[in-house]
Amino acid sequence: MRLLRYLGLRLALIVPVLFGVIVLVFLLVRVLPGDPVQAFVTPSSTQEDIEAIRARLGLDIPLWQQFLVYLRGLFVGDLGTSIQSGTPVATELATRLAPTLELVFLSVGVALVLSIIVGVWSAMRVNRPFDHMSRVTSLVGTALPEFWLGLVLIVVGYQTLHWFPAPSGRLDRSVELAPLTGAELLDATLTLNGPAFVSALQHLALPMLTIVIGVSASLMRSVRAAALQIRASAPWQTATAHGVRGNALFAGYLMRGTLSRIPTLVAIVLGNVLGGVVLVEYVFAWEGMGQWLLRGLLVRDYPVVQAGVVIIALVYAFAYLIADLIHAALDPRVRL
């Protein structure tokens, strides 16, 4: 019952957060230099033509009215129409969100598993060769810029070793795949399409590895620090003094205490990766939401930018919600 009340409170807090993001993004994209109308202006355009374009885009009315129109559309699920393509934003988002989420969630999931294994193992062998090696590796991985690392992986994995396909999309053009969700690896699995699964996995490998290296490096340090704090805590010292050994000590104290501190870190990392995936998508020509959002920002496509940022904020908010619920389930003090 306490967990359900906690869930209700956290859900209620998401509403003002999302509303604040909507207002802030709406205002910021209009403060930035540039005018989306200029994309339609030609040397022969007159002032009347420019005003007609502005009216067609709904930019001729006061700012507060534009916001009310945008807010009214959000309540009915209308994200607006792209200024550049003339296509509904929801239609474009539907084809680009799933591949980005697939890339982000798979990368963070793999990085989390590696971080827990290496971080806990390192904490159990503190100041030994493995611990020193893992700390140096995490430091180097944290310092590597994603766009540079992606280019290096392309040169090594594609150009030199020829192990991976060219960074030119998410699937080989010769492979046929019936789209279900838009995430090629998931669609290939659901339709039992072996060639499409192999092709999607090959195209996914390098961009996913680029994200995994950076994420696992930062997460591993946090996991190691949390495990060391557990080993230095009074419950751990008391358990070892009373002769608790083996799996009861490892699972009952170390892993439970360490894992209870990980969900919030994962939520932070997930939000950072989702917000910064644009660099990885640009390097690997991955036609996802990040690349789409960047192009919209460059040409001041207001509906595209607004929809992309709101979706990122929504994923971020629910990631924090799930992290808090897991934390509350593992640590009763949070529910109290």
pLDDT per residue over 78-127, tens digit each?
Answer: 888 888 777 888 888 888 888 888 899 999 999 988 988 888 888 888 78
Over residues 65-75, mean pLDDT:
86
Burial of 97 (0-12, 13-18, 19+ CB in 10 A): buried
Structural domain contains residue 331: no
Whether the per-residue pLDDT at 334 is higher than 60: the answer is no
pLDDT in tens, 221-263: 888 888 888 777 776 667 677 666 666 666 666 777 777 778 7
State the pLDDT at residue 250.
64
Mean of all residue pLDDT scores within the chain: 81
Whether the per-residue pLDDT at 335 is higher than 60: the answer is no
Spacing of C-alpha 49 from chain mean position: 41
State the pLDDT at residue 252.
61
With tokens 């209009």, the residue in question is: 30
State the pLDDT at residue 124.
80
Are residues 207 and 280 in contact, defined by beta-carbon separation less than 8 angstroms?
A: yes
Number of independent structural domains in the chain: 1
Q: What is the DSSP string of 214-254?
A: HHHHHHHHHHHHHHHHHHTSHHHHHHHHTT--HHHHIIIII
The fraction of the chain above a pLDDT of 90, given in percent, is 3
Structural domain contains residue 299: no
Cα–Cα distance measured from residue 278 to residue 236, given in angstroms and rounded to the nearest whole number: 43
Domain with 165 in it: what CATH number? 1.10.3720
| Distant-in-sequence, close-in-space partners of 225: CB < 8 Å, separation ≥ 6 | none
State the pLDDT at residue 69.
85
Domain span including residue 141: 97-286
Structural domain contains residue 166: yes
pLDDT in tens, 43-61: 776 777 777 777 777 777 8
State the pLDDT at residue 333.
61
Are residues 22 and 311 in contact, defined by beta-carbon separation less than 8 angstroms?
A: no
pLDDT band at 31, cuts 50/70/90? confident
State the pLDDT at residue 293.
85
State the pLDDT at residue 77.
80
**Dmax over Cα atoms in the chain, in whole Å?**
87
State the pLDDT at residue 249.
64
Whether the per-residue pLDDT at 17 is higher than 80: the answer is yes
With tokens 């009763």, the residue in question is: 332
Structural domain contains residue 121: yes
pTM: 0.82
Cα–Cα distance measured from residue 136 to residue 39, given in angstroms and rounded to the nearest whole number: 49
State the pLDDT at residue 331.
63
Whether the per-residue pLDDT at 130 is higher than 80: the answer is yes
State the pLDDT at residue 236.
66
DSSP lists the bridge partners of residue 88 as 81
pLDDT in tens, 137-187: 888 888 888 888 888 999 988 888 888 888 887 888 888 887 888 888 888
Structural domain contains residue 2: no
Structural domain contains residue 303: no
The encoded tokens of residue 226 equal 């949390």
pLDDT band at 297, cuts 50/70/90? confident
